[in-house]
């Protein structure tokens, strides 16, 4: 079974306000040994991942031909594809080398199909957080004061509320990531330290 990589652990640490230094370089101040336990205990399903090259051109019921259906059965939850095309579907039936599912997204090319597991859940949350990063890079230039003589902020239609919405969504995803990896208390403590440093918020005078 596959487990989280060192690079993925570094991303989790960064999202939870922890340092991303190599283990041998971590200062012996508030050392969080729990990370070394998590790395090898967030694992994939015992069912080997497979692939599909069946194009899904519209949302709705689909029959996908897989390279292998070993271990799959009606009721299995599987993760299709990656990045923005990633979605979790439930297998309705397995017939020969095909599975019947209901897709909400489109898929093309050859894409991975993997049984949902602790590993896919954590990786999915990290992918969602990366998507928030990308949206924030677009939204940040539009955030701020619109006029100086009379303080006027960009309105909802102009993207003014986009940054706040993305930030709230990021905090919710961080909470889910921390909960999934048993790091809720770590997130709470680290976020408190960052907040005390004045990084978590701002005030308008």
Q: Torsion over CA of 95, 58, 165 and 146, rounded to 10 degrees? A: 160
User: 82 or 166: whose pLDDT is higher?
Assistant: 82
pLDDT tens per residue, range 60-77? 999 999 999 999 999 999
With tokens 């080997």, the residue in question is: 48
Per residue in 11-39, is it b (16+ CB within 10 Å) or e — as a string?
A: bbbebbbbeeeeeeebeeeeebeebeebe
Question: pTM for the whole thing?
Answer: 0.79
Cα separation, 83 vs 80, in Å, equals 10
pLDDT at 98: 98
Average pLDDT (116-132) is 95
pLDDT tens per residue, range 131-177? 998 888 876 665 555 555 555 555 545 545 667 788 899 999 999 99
With tokens 């009606």, the residue in question is: 74
Average pLDDT (1-29) is 82
pLDDT at 205: 34
Give the residue extent of every domain in the chain. 6-43+118-196, 50-115
pLDDT at 201: 44
Cα separation, 77 vs 14, in Å, equals 29
186-193, long-range: CB < 8 A, 24+ apart: 186/16, 186/18, 186/32, 186/34, 187/16, 187/17, 190/16, 190/17, 190/18, 191/17, 193/17
φ, ψ of residue 57 to 5 degrees: the values are -95, -10
Question: Is the pLDDT assigned to residue 202 strictly greater than 60?
Answer: no
pLDDT tens per residue, range 25-46? 665 555 567 888 898 899 999 9
Question: Is the pLDDT assigned to residue 109 strictly greater than 90?
Answer: yes
Mean pLDDT (the chain, rounded): 84
pLDDT at 23: 63
Average pLDDT (183-192) is 88
Give the whole-number percent of the chain exceeding pLDDT 90.
58
């Amino acid at each position: 079974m596959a487990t989280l990589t060192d690079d993925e652990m570094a991303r989790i640490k960064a999202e939870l306000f922890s340092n991303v230094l190599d283990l041998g370089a971590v200062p012996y101040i508030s050392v969080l040994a729990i990370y070394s336990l998590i790395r090898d205990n967030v694992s994939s399903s015992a069912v080997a991942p497979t692939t599909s090259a069946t194009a899904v051109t519209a949302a709705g019921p689909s029959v996908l031909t897989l390279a292998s259906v070993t271990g799959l059965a009606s009721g299995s939850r599987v993760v299709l594809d990656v990045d923005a095309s990633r979605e979790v579907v439930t297998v309705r039936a397995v017939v020969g080398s095909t599975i019947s599912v209901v897709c909400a997204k489109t898929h093309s090319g050859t894409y991975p199909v993997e049984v949902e597991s602790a590993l896919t859940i954590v990786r999915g949350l990290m992918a969602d957080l990366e998507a928030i990063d990308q949206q924030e890079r677009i939204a940040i230039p539009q955030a701020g004061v619109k006029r100086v003589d009379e303080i006027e902020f960009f309105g909802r239609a102009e993207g003014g509320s986009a940054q706040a919405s993305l930030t709230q969504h990021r905090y919710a995803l961080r909470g889910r990531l921390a909960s999934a990896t048993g790091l809720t208390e770590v997130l709470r403590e680290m976020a408190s330290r960052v907040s005390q440093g004045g990084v978590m918020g701002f005030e308008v005078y």
